[in-house]
């Protein structure tokens, strides 16, 4: 799950109007946190956001794939790839990230 510093910096720059997003390294990738709540994961220079039944269809309609940490295993995490057109638009990215953060917070 390696990730480049340049890609992390790009993600942080795109999310900077939203607030202070913290990156925590994990298993060769990175977790994206706001207010100590994880809402995203970066792995192999692909960014993913937390999903549940409230926003999964939006990701599927955009052609996003789920995060599969082990390619040869059926394990799928509740994170889906951020579509490139969303990643490139800070306002839309923040909107999608806010939904993912809400999903994480309601789990508590």
Closest CA to 1 of 42, 62, 52, 38: 42
Work out the widest C-alpha separation in the chain, in whole angstroms. 38
Tally of structural domains, the chain: 1
Where residue 26 sits, what CATH number does that domain have? 3.30.1460.30
Q: Across the 108 residues of the chain, what is the mean pLDDT of every consecutive 10-residue run?
A: 87 97 91 96 95 96 89 78 97 98 89
Helix then strand count (H, E) for the chain reads 4, 5
Residue 99: HSE in the Cβ half-sphere, 13 Å Cα cutoff: 20
The pTM of the full predicted model, rounded to 2 decimals, is 0.91
- Domain residues for the domain of 89 are 5-106
Residue 1: per-residue pLDDT: 52
Residue 28: per-residue pLDDT: 78
CA end-to-end span of the chain: 26
């Amino acid at each position: 799950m390696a990730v480049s510093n340049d890609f992390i910096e790009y993600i942080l720059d795109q999310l900077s109007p939203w607030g202070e997003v913290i990156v925590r390294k994990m298993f060769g990738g990175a977790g994206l946190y706001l207010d100590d709540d994880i809402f995203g994961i970066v792995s192999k220079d692909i960014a993913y956001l937390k999903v549940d039944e409230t926003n999964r269809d939006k990701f599927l309609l955009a052609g996003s794939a789920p995060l599969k940490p082990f390619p040869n295993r059926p394990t799928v995490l509740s994170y889906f790839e951020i579509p490139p057109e969303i990643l490139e638009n800070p306002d839309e990215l923040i909107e999608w990230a806010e939904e993912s953060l809400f999903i994480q917070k309601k789990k508590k």
